[in-house]
Amino acid sequence: MSAIRRRGLMLVLSSPSGAGKSTLARRLLESDSDIVMSVSATTRAMRPNEIEGRDYLFVSSQTFADMVRKGEFLEHAHVFDHQYGTPQKRVTDTLERGCDVLFDIDWQGTQQLKERARDDLVSVFVLPPSHEELERRLRSRAQDSDDVVAKRMAKAADEISHWPEYDYVIVNDDVDNAHDKILSILKAERARRTRLVGVGEFVAQLTR
Protein backbone atom coordinates (compact mmCIF):
# COMPACT_ATOMS: atom_id res chain seq x y z
CA MET A 1 0.00 0.00 0.00
CA SER A 2 1.22 3.42 -0.89
CA ALA A 3 0.92 6.35 1.50
CA ILE A 4 -0.76 8.44 -1.17
CA ARG A 5 -4.15 9.66 -0.07
CA ARG A 6 -6.71 11.68 -1.91
CA ARG A 7 -9.14 14.45 -1.26
CA GLY A 8 -12.71 13.46 -2.08
CA LEU A 9 -14.51 15.01 -5.01
CA MET A 10 -18.00 16.32 -5.63
CA LEU A 11 -19.62 14.55 -8.58
CA VAL A 12 -22.56 16.41 -10.08
CA LEU A 13 -25.05 14.70 -12.36
CA SER A 14 -27.40 17.06 -14.16
CA SER A 15 -29.93 16.35 -16.87
CA PRO A 16 -33.44 17.22 -17.92
CA SER A 17 -36.26 15.13 -16.44
CA GLY A 18 -36.62 12.01 -18.50
CA ALA A 19 -32.94 11.38 -19.19
CA GLY A 20 -32.66 8.56 -16.66
CA LYS A 21 -30.45 10.39 -14.19
CA SER A 22 -32.03 8.96 -11.02
CA THR A 23 -31.43 5.41 -12.19
CA LEU A 24 -27.81 6.24 -13.02
CA ALA A 25 -27.27 7.87 -9.63
CA ARG A 26 -28.67 4.80 -7.84
CA ARG A 27 -26.52 2.44 -9.92
CA LEU A 28 -23.41 4.46 -9.13
CA LEU A 29 -24.09 4.42 -5.38
CA GLU A 30 -24.69 0.65 -5.52
CA SER A 31 -21.50 -0.11 -7.45
CA ASP A 32 -19.06 2.05 -5.48
CA SER A 33 -18.86 2.24 -1.72
CA ASP A 34 -16.64 5.33 -1.56
CA ILE A 35 -19.27 7.73 -2.82
CA VAL A 36 -22.35 8.87 -0.90
CA MET A 37 -25.39 10.83 -1.93
CA SER A 38 -25.58 14.41 -0.82
CA VAL A 39 -28.53 14.97 1.50
CA SER A 40 -30.36 18.26 1.10
CA ALA A 41 -32.16 20.27 3.71
CA THR A 42 -35.73 21.21 2.83
CA THR A 43 -38.63 23.13 4.28
CA ARG A 44 -41.25 20.86 2.75
CA ALA A 45 -43.10 18.27 4.84
CA MET A 46 -41.84 14.71 5.11
CA ARG A 47 -43.71 12.25 2.88
CA PRO A 48 -44.60 8.65 3.73
CA ASN A 49 -41.59 6.34 3.23
CA GLU A 50 -39.13 9.23 3.58
CA ILE A 51 -36.55 9.06 6.33
CA GLU A 52 -35.05 12.07 8.09
CA GLY A 53 -31.34 12.28 7.28
CA ARG A 54 -31.51 9.76 4.45
CA ASP A 55 -33.89 11.47 2.02
CA TYR A 56 -33.72 14.98 3.40
CA LEU A 57 -32.95 16.98 6.48
CA PHE A 58 -36.40 18.37 7.26
CA VAL A 59 -36.11 21.84 8.75
CA SER A 60 -38.42 24.76 9.50
CA SER A 61 -38.50 27.86 7.32
CA GLN A 62 -36.89 29.76 10.21
CA THR A 63 -34.02 27.28 10.51
CA PHE A 64 -33.51 27.31 6.75
CA ALA A 65 -33.39 31.12 6.70
CA ASP A 66 -30.86 31.09 9.55
CA MET A 67 -28.68 28.61 7.65
CA VAL A 68 -28.80 30.82 4.55
CA ARG A 69 -27.87 33.86 6.62
CA LYS A 70 -24.91 32.05 8.20
CA GLY A 71 -23.63 30.90 4.78
CA GLU A 72 -24.08 27.24 5.68
CA PHE A 73 -25.31 26.17 2.25
CA LEU A 74 -23.14 25.20 -0.70
CA GLU A 75 -26.16 25.89 -2.87
CA HIS A 76 -29.83 26.52 -2.28
CA ALA A 77 -32.93 27.16 -4.33
CA HIS A 78 -36.59 28.00 -4.08
CA VAL A 79 -38.69 25.38 -5.91
CA PHE A 80 -42.44 25.92 -6.00
CA ASP A 81 -43.36 26.74 -2.39
CA HIS A 82 -40.35 25.20 -0.68
CA GLN A 83 -36.67 25.75 -0.07
CA TYR A 84 -33.97 23.20 -0.79
CA GLY A 85 -30.27 23.47 -0.02
CA THR A 86 -27.04 21.52 0.46
CA PRO A 87 -25.49 22.07 3.90
CA GLN A 88 -21.74 22.54 3.54
CA LYS A 89 -20.42 20.86 6.67
CA ARG A 90 -21.44 17.29 5.91
CA VAL A 91 -19.99 17.54 2.39
CA THR A 92 -16.70 19.02 3.61
CA ASP A 93 -16.31 16.34 6.27
CA THR A 94 -16.90 13.60 3.67
CA LEU A 95 -14.35 15.04 1.24
CA GLU A 96 -11.74 15.41 3.96
CA ARG A 97 -11.92 11.74 4.87
CA GLY A 98 -11.29 10.90 1.18
CA CYS A 99 -14.83 9.95 0.22
CA ASP A 100 -16.84 11.43 -2.63
CA VAL A 101 -20.26 13.06 -2.66
CA LEU A 102 -22.82 12.67 -5.46
CA PHE A 103 -25.15 15.55 -6.31
CA ASP A 104 -28.34 15.31 -8.32
CA ILE A 105 -28.89 19.02 -9.01
CA ASP A 106 -29.81 21.30 -11.90
CA TRP A 107 -27.61 23.77 -13.75
CA GLN A 108 -28.31 26.57 -11.28
CA GLY A 109 -27.20 24.46 -8.32
CA THR A 110 -24.13 23.41 -10.28
CA GLN A 111 -23.21 27.04 -10.90
CA GLN A 112 -23.49 27.78 -7.18
CA LEU A 113 -21.32 24.76 -6.31
CA LYS A 114 -18.71 25.92 -8.82
CA GLU A 115 -18.50 29.28 -7.13
CA ARG A 116 -17.98 27.66 -3.73
CA ALA A 117 -15.82 24.66 -4.58
CA ARG A 118 -14.49 24.71 -8.13
CA ASP A 119 -11.44 22.49 -7.52
CA ASP A 120 -13.45 19.70 -5.91
CA LEU A 121 -16.19 19.66 -8.54
CA VAL A 122 -16.58 17.19 -11.41
CA SER A 123 -19.71 17.81 -13.46
CA VAL A 124 -21.47 15.42 -15.84
CA PHE A 125 -24.41 16.29 -18.07
CA VAL A 126 -26.62 13.36 -19.06
CA LEU A 127 -28.53 13.68 -22.35
CA PRO A 128 -31.50 11.56 -23.42
CA PRO A 129 -30.89 9.51 -26.59
CA SER A 130 -33.44 11.20 -28.88
CA HIS A 131 -36.29 13.66 -29.09
CA GLU A 132 -38.81 10.81 -29.37
CA GLU A 133 -37.44 9.03 -26.32
CA LEU A 134 -37.35 12.24 -24.28
CA GLU A 135 -40.98 12.97 -25.17
CA ARG A 136 -41.99 9.40 -24.38
CA ARG A 137 -40.38 9.59 -20.94
CA LEU A 138 -41.88 13.00 -20.18
CA ARG A 139 -45.31 11.68 -21.14
CA SER A 140 -45.15 8.33 -19.41
CA ARG A 141 -45.21 9.95 -15.99
CA ALA A 142 -49.01 9.91 -16.20
CA GLN A 143 -51.80 10.23 -18.71
CA ASP A 144 -50.70 13.74 -19.53
CA SER A 145 -52.20 16.21 -21.97
CA ASP A 146 -50.14 17.43 -24.90
CA ASP A 147 -50.05 20.81 -23.24
CA VAL A 148 -48.49 19.46 -20.04
CA VAL A 149 -45.94 17.47 -22.05
CA ALA A 150 -45.11 20.57 -24.13
CA LYS A 151 -44.46 22.53 -20.94
CA ARG A 152 -42.19 19.78 -19.61
CA MET A 153 -40.38 19.67 -22.95
CA ALA A 154 -39.78 23.43 -22.76
CA LYS A 155 -38.37 23.03 -19.25
CA ALA A 156 -36.17 20.14 -20.43
CA ALA A 157 -34.94 22.24 -23.35
CA ASP A 158 -33.97 25.02 -20.95
CA GLU A 159 -31.99 22.62 -18.74
CA ILE A 160 -30.34 20.97 -21.77
CA SER A 161 -29.18 24.35 -23.09
CA HIS A 162 -26.66 24.42 -20.22
CA TRP A 163 -24.66 21.37 -21.35
CA PRO A 164 -21.67 23.54 -22.36
CA GLU A 165 -21.08 24.39 -18.68
CA TYR A 166 -20.24 20.78 -17.78
CA ASP A 167 -16.92 18.89 -17.74
CA TYR A 168 -18.33 15.73 -19.30
CA VAL A 169 -21.32 14.99 -21.53
CA ILE A 170 -22.80 11.53 -21.94
CA VAL A 171 -25.78 10.25 -23.89
CA ASN A 172 -27.93 7.76 -22.01
CA ASP A 173 -28.73 5.54 -25.00
CA ASP A 174 -27.99 2.41 -22.97
CA VAL A 175 -28.08 2.41 -19.18
CA ASP A 176 -25.19 -0.07 -18.76
CA ASN A 177 -23.05 1.92 -21.13
CA ALA A 178 -23.91 5.24 -19.48
CA HIS A 179 -23.26 3.75 -16.02
CA ASP A 180 -19.87 2.47 -17.16
CA LYS A 181 -18.96 5.94 -18.42
CA ILE A 182 -19.96 7.65 -15.17
CA LEU A 183 -18.08 5.06 -13.09
CA SER A 184 -15.01 5.59 -15.32
CA ILE A 185 -15.23 9.34 -14.82
CA LEU A 186 -15.34 8.81 -11.05
CA LYS A 187 -12.35 6.42 -11.06
CA ALA A 188 -10.33 8.64 -13.40
CA GLU A 189 -10.97 11.82 -11.45
CA ARG A 190 -9.84 10.07 -8.27
CA ALA A 191 -6.43 9.56 -9.92
CA ARG A 192 -6.10 13.18 -11.02
CA ARG A 193 -2.81 14.54 -9.77
CA THR A 194 -4.30 17.69 -8.31
CA ARG A 195 -6.53 15.64 -6.00
CA LEU A 196 -3.76 13.47 -4.57
CA VAL A 197 -2.13 14.17 -1.23
CA GLY A 198 1.29 12.90 -0.17
CA VAL A 199 2.76 12.08 -3.60
CA GLY A 200 5.85 14.17 -2.89
CA GLU A 201 6.57 12.25 0.32
CA PHE A 202 5.88 8.91 -1.39
CA VAL A 203 8.24 9.76 -4.25
CA ALA A 204 10.94 10.86 -1.78
CA GLN A 205 10.73 7.39 -0.19
CA LEU A 206 10.83 5.67 -3.61
CA THR A 207 14.05 7.36 -4.67
CA ARG A 208 15.80 7.77 -1.30
CA-based nearest residue to 116, from 5, 6, 12: 12
Q: Which CB atom, from 61 or from 130, has the smaller least distance to a copy of itself?
A: 130
75, 100, 104, 189: which one binds a copy of itself (CB under 8 A): 189
Integer Rg of the chain from CA: 19
For 19, list phi and psi in degrees, rounded to 5: -100, -5
Q: Interaction with a copy of itself in 108-137: which residues (CB under 8 A)?
A: 124-125, 127-131, 134
Residue 104 belongs to what H/E stretch? strand 100-104
**How far is it, in rounded angstroms, from Cα 26 to Cα 157?**
24
Does position 206 interact with a copy of itself (CB under 8 A)? The reply is yes
Does position 33 interact with a copy of itself (CB under 8 A)? The reply is no
25, 41, 59, 153: which one binds a copy of itself (CB under 8 A): 153
Does position 39 interact with a copy of itself (CB under 8 A)? The reply is no
Contacts of 196 (CB under 8 A, 6+ apart): 4, 5, 6
Q: Residue 95 half-sphere exposure, CB side, CA atoms within 13 Å?
A: 18
The minimum distance between CB 79 and a copy of itself, in angstroms, equals 22
Interacting residue ranges for a copy of itself, rule: CB under 8 A = 1-2, 4, 124-125, 127-131, 134, 153, 156-157, 160-161, 163-164, 166-171, 173, 180-181, 183-185, 187-189, 191-193, 196, 199, 202-203, 205-208
